[in-house]
Amino acid sequence: MTKAPLTGKGERANELLGLIHTDVCGPFSISAKGGYLYFITFTDDFSRYGYVYLMKYKSESFEKFKEYKNEPEKEIEASSQAVDEQSSTTQGLRRSDRIRHEPERYEFLVTDDDNVMLIDHNEPTTYQEAMESPESAKWLEAMKAEM
């Protein structure tokens, strides 16, 4: 006896609430807040929208199904009323009046006048000038202190 090959195509819903997948999970060794040991899920195949209900006993499954059955119908009615109530007037695109500035990047490279160290024009600017000056010993000592 051989098994027929699987086609890989399952039944799919063509409308909301056309096909609902359900699963009961539990019991869990640690109960949730309120003493719940089980939960049941309902997933609409068309919209993939899911609901989860907590249960203390597995026997509550049918009651939760009744509760679920009423919930999507209420939401569909409410959403269809909300769509009908929306006005048909559309607004055009709005532009902001604010002045746009380029973001300041690498601020640490930009120096302000307050942070600039003033250089005395009488001081040497290179190592060679420091070594040729009459105060070369003082400059060597200053360089060693810096390092």
The predicted-structure confidence for 82-127, as pLDDT tens digits, reads as follows 544 555 555 666 777 788 777 666 555 555 555 555 566 678 788 8
Q: Is residue 71 domain-resident? A: yes
Quote the domain boundaries for residue 53.
20-84
Q: Which of 17-26, 114-123, 134-143 has the weakest average pLDDT? A: 114-123
60 class by beta-carbon count within 10 Å (0-12 exposed, 13-18 middle, 19+ buried): middle
Residue 103 included in any domain? no
Determine, yes or no, domain membership for 34: yes
Give yes or no for residue 53 having a pLDDT over 60: yes
- Whether residue 64 lies inside any domain: the answer is yes
Is residue 106 a part of any domain in this protein? no
